Structure 1
Amino acid sequence: MSRTRLYRHGVLEAEGFPVADVSDHVADPSCAVWFDLCSPSPEELAVISEELGLHKLAVEDVLHDRQRPKLDVYDSHLFLTVYGERLDADTGQLASTEINIFVTRTALVTVRANDAFDIGEVTRRWDASRDLAKHGVGFLLHGLLDVVVDGHFEVIQALDDQIEALESDLFDGQPSRHLQRHTFALRKSLVAFRRGALPMREVVNSLLRRDLHVVEPAMAPYYQDVYDHVLRVAEWADSLRDLVSNIRETHLAQQGYRLNDIMKKLTGWAAIIAVPTMITGFYGQNVPYPGSEQPIGFWTSAIIIVAASLGLYLAFRKRDWL
């Protein structure tokens, strides 16, 4: 299902019209046309490519999934790849939607890999900034990138909250297996998020170049604001990566400490048990000894066992081994 919009002289003139009618407006310099495609077929892309004169390499990139976020410059248009991100709060799993964008002087084409990305939020963002619509395609592209980067902000905030909860679990005695699984899931999501968010610095920074003639001087502060948000997301992601690594190392150190503590206790009890074994072994010799076969021998061995075991126990307790 495709969505379309037509702006003429900065005013929304039509929306929801067939994609086939786009060719009637793209040649008009007073128009700015947007249409969105979700999981289009190669045949549909071929028709659009012919209508707008899109480069075949850019069309091939659309057909191949998992492109790196980038900005390619061609003679007649720009081609961008960005990712809309969404985090599952329950599982900590990251869901990404690849968004390919063609930018010409009078048209903006978005091609989404799936419908997980809320394209309706983009149109609402445009409607909330109608006074900027006079800047044409630059206005449309800014609204789209702003929504994408805001989504990155929401994801990084959710990751920060979950990692903070993970820190609390680390020192609250949560089950080790649960902690390991959660740490691994968050680390995996963070790595995938950084792969899609960090290259946005190059994408937005390249759009600010004046030789591309995409961003008008009046729109430059808005793009700069998006770029600042991209930098904040990138720095935040780097700090969270270090934090997750520290949590993992701390967890391993805690496990080592617990193991050492267990080994100390086992060694202490083994030493205590060894004393009665040694004494009863001595008194079990098949030779005469003082008190042999007499009650005094039994009481002597029993007193020695109790005294030695109690002495070792108190000594180990004093050193916090038991």
Structure 2
Amino acid sequence: MSNDASGRITSCRWERGRLVQQGFPLEDLSEHLAREGSLVWVDLCEPDGAGLNSLAAELGLDRHAVEDAVSTGERPKATRHPGHTFLTVYATRLEAPGSDPAAPDSRLHLTRISAFVLPRGVITVRGSAGFDMAPVLERWNEDPDLLGHGVGVLVHGLLDAVVDGHFETIQQLDDAIEDLEDTLFDDRGQSRVVQIRTYRLRKELVQLRRVVLPMRDVVNAVLRHRRDLENRVPELDGFYDDLYDHVLRAAEWTESLRDMVSTVFETNLSLQDARLNTVMKKLTGWAAIIAVPTAVTGWFGQNVPYPGFGSHGGVLFSLGVIVVTATLLYGVFRRKGWI
């Protein structure tokens, strides 16, 4: 893989599935796209607006699609324009927990990837270098015979790599929820840690859901577009059907994780109520035990005769009443699990 001096542009050209050129200048792009049997890929990472507009004018790219390729906040989508199809998807990456595993900041990073799909090539535009295209290029070059089927192989390889990244992120979030469940039932009752981690997971799942669920529409639009082509390659139908199945699984898994986090949140609230009830029962039990000596000493402190009044025997009698009654109450409360 070769880049220009700025390190922002990558280009490759294949002839009948065999890689024949890397790092060609953009000035030759139109010539390569017009060559019969040629397949071209150009990647632009964080391109400047002027250069992208110049390239769009040369290739006849739709200006609205060009605006969407560089603007922030675009949702995943696939739109057809005269002469090309425009795709926008998001690659995901989840950071490992830092020094503070209970920090509330989201660990999910999204990288926007837009693609202009032309009859003999694909131009990808990345919003940042957060998604590495090297594994995608390796995937394309693994099977030169398959690559000879044309641009559909490039599109499938790109989308398949993005969806695989979604699965990896979802698996990490699933593991994080399982760890959270272990903390949830910890006898030490780290309620604040559970609350912060639950809030962070809910935030990350909301972000992930926004980019995973629309992938169904993206892949479905690509499938419809392929069926409308007269020169459709039937050999790729199984690959795209498998990709659509993966997209559906990722969406369903994301939805199930969202339900699991909501369940963890509600369970944590229920456990807090249960722990509070346990504490109140213990406080009530000890208060009842402490009330016994208070009542006995207060009663015998009145200026009225009582058994043993004015003698050491009265002191021992009152002490015996306190000890016996308090011990009896302690046994009753202990048996009921109040203390």
Is TM more than 0.5 here? yes
Counterpart in the other structure of 1:278: 295
Counterpart in the other structure of 1:149: 163
Conservation of the 8 A alpha-carbon contact between 1:80 and 1:102: yes
CA distance in 1, matches of 2:128, 2:232: 28
Q: Percentage identity across aligned positions?
A: 50
**Given the superposition, is the C-alpha separation of residues 173 and 101 from structure 1 closer, same or farther in structure 2, using an over 3 Å criterion?**
farther
Q: Does 1:135 align with 2:149?
A: yes
Letter in 1 for 2:297: T
Q: Does 1:188 align with 2:195?
A: no
CA distance in 2, matches of 1:214, 1:104: 14
Q: Does 1:56 align with 2:71?
A: no
Conservation of the 8 A alpha-carbon contact between 2:70 and 2:127: no
Counterpart in the other structure of 1:89: 96
TM-score (norm 1): 0.94
Counterpart in the other structure of 2:251: 234
Conservation of the 8 A alpha-carbon contact between 2:91 and 2:111: yes
Q: SS at 2:148's partner residue?
A: helix
CA distance in 2, matches of 1:130, 1:180: 51
Letter in 2 for 1:271: A
Counterpart in the other structure of 2:34: 27
Per-residue CA deviation, residues 39-70 of structure 1 (Å, 9 max, x unaligned), is: 01110110111111111111111221121111
Counterpart in the other structure of 1:206: 221
Letter in 1 for 2:263: N
Per-residue CA deviation, residues 152-210 of structure 1 (Å, 9 max, x unaligned), is: 11111222222222222223436333222222222222221111111111111111111
Letter in 2 for 1:96: L
Q: SS at 2:33's partner residue?
A: coil
Letter in 2 for 1:106: R
RMSD: 1.8
Conservation of the 8 A alpha-carbon contact between 1:70 and 1:199: yes
Q: Does 1:269 align with 2:286?
A: yes
Letter in 2 for 1:110: T
Conservation of the 8 A alpha-carbon contact between 1:138 and 1:214: no
Counterpart in the other structure of 1:159: 173
How much has 1:291 moved relative to structure 2? 4.1
Counterpart in the other structure of 2:310: 293
Q: SS at 2:302's partner residue?
A: coil
- Of stretches 193-202 and 4-13 in structure 1, the one that deviates more from structure 2 is 4-13
Q: Does 1:11 align with 2:18?
A: yes
CA distance in 2, matches of 1:199, 1:97: 15
Conservation of the 8 A alpha-carbon contact between 1:83 and 1:99: yes
Per-residue CA deviation, residues 99-130 of structure 1 (Å, 9 max, x unaligned), is: 01111112211000111101001100001121
Conservation of the 8 A alpha-carbon contact between 1:6 and 1:33: yes
Letter in 2 for 1:258: R
Q: SS at 1:54's partner residue?
A: coil
Out of 110, 113, 116, the residue aligned to residue 124 of structure 2 is 110
CA distance in 2, matches of 1:65, 1:29: 36
Aligned residues: 322
Matches within 5 A, 1:30-49: 30-49=37-56
Q: Which 5+ residue runs of structure 1 have no aligned equivalent?
A: none
**Given the superposition, is the C-alpha separation of residues 40 and 202 from structure 1 closer, same or farther in structure 2, using an over 3 Å criterion?**
same
CA distance in 2, matches of 1:215, 1:158: 37
How much has 1:215 moved relative to structure 2? 5.4
Q: Which 5+ residue runs of structure 2 have no aligned equivalent?
A: 1-7, 99-105
